[in-house]
């Protein structure tokens, strides 16, 4: 079951709003999930984070409000296997100079918060349209199924609006995590992040609506975090956020720890399902309004 839509809210002190759209592709095979309720309470080369037998460990860091996109019947969040690296690629067509450097810093912060390794597989000519139209699964030469790396792209607002059912003039970006198929249907395995080309976000972490914090927010969704309606110090907050909030807040960090090694490793599993089966679901839009220029 996809998460419920959240009505747009005003953000910031200046005059023009934007939308951060979130669409979740839910696996079609063998997984029953429900929307996650709100909770109050490391990246250049391939590297396996830890032994797959690692168990969940108590969280001892800062706490705060956070939510998960989906949870299981036992109230644990749906997540990636934190003992396997997350691979990603970037389509730099329309990206600002310095975008790769910003993404490397984003990956380092995500690794610090989750313990998951992030591996940059270089550039790609894949597009938002192609990835969302043809799915996140492909067939290897031996006939087995595999999953594409997470794709980070810059795209026109109308294309992002078409995927996320958002209002074109208010869009800033979109994140779409994808569940696997067959024996991987219970974990996230791929996804896409799209940033609106025309927004010309500064390639740094200078303020909330610079490229760095925006990518941190979208990667939070890719990893399984939802929005929170409480705690303006949280980067996943969907209310009026101060422009100086540029890093994950205490609730964000608590949620990311549960999605990462803090939640324990998932046993690696081979993919046996047909590669023609791709995650499908009716897109669910989560939107937040932002500041004006």
> What average pLDDT does the structure give for the chain?
75
What does the chain look like in DSSP terms, one character per residue?
A: -PPPPB-----SSSS---EEEE--B--SSS---EEPPEE-----S----S-TTPPP----S----EEBSEE-TTSPBP---TTSPEEEEEE-TTPPTTHHHHHHHHHHHHHHHH---EEEEEE----HHHHHHH-SEEE-TTS-EEEPPEEEEEE-HHHHHHHHT--GGGEEEEEEEEE-SGGGTTSEEEEEEEEEGGG---SSSSSTTSHHHHHHHHHHHHHTB--BSS-TTSTTB-S---TT--S--HHHHHHHHHHTGGG-PPPP----S-TT---------B-------
pLDDT at 276: 32
Q: Say how far apart CA 41 and CA 123 lie, in whole Å.
A: 39
- Domains annotated for the chain, with CATH where assigned, are 19-263 (3.40.390.10)
pLDDT at 162: 85
pLDDT interval class at 290 (50, 70, 90): very low
pLDDT at 231: 83
Q: Which pLDDT tens digit goes with each residue over 159-175?
A: 888 887 665 666 788 99
Using CA atoms, how far residue 178 sits from 28, 90, 233, 269, 293, in Å, is: 10, 17, 28, 17, 33
């Amino acid at each position: 079951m996809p998460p419920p839509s959240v009505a747009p809210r005003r953000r910031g002190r200046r005059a023009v709003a934007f939308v951060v759209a979130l669409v979740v592709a839910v696996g079609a095979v063998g997984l029953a999930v429900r929307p996650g309720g709100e909770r109050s309470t490391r990246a250049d080369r391939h590297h396996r984070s830890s032994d797959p037998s690692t168990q969940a460990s108590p969280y001892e860091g800062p706490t705060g409000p956070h939510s998960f996109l989906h949870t299981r019947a036992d109230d644990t969040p749906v997540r990636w296997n934190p003992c396997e690296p997350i691979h990603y690629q970037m389509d730099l067509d329309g990206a600002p100079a310095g975008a790769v450097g910003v993404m490397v810093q984003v990956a380092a912060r995500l690794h610090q918060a989750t313990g998951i390794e992030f591996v940059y597989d270089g550039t790609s000519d894949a597009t938002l349209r192609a990835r969302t139209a043809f799915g996140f699964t492909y067939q290897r030469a031996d006939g087995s199924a595999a999953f594409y790396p997470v794709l980070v792209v810059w795209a026109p607002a109308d294309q992002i609006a078409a995927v996320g059912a958002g209002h074109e003039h208010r869009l800033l970006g979109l994140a779409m995590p994808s569940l696997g198929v067959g024996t991987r249907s219970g974990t996230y395995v791929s996804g896409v992040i799209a940033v609106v080309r025309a927004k010309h976000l500064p390639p740094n972490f200078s303020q909330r609506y610079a490229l760095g914090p925006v990518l941190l927010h979208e990667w939070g969704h890719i990893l399984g975090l939802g929005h929170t309606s409480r705690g303006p110090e949280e980067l996943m907050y969907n209310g009026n956020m101060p422009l100086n909030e540029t890093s994950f807040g205490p609730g964000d960090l608590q949620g990311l720890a549960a999605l990462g090694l803090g939640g324990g490793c998932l046993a690696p599993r081979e993919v046996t399902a047909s590669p023609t089966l791709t995650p499908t679901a009716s897109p669910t839009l989560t939107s937040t309004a932002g500041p004006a220029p």
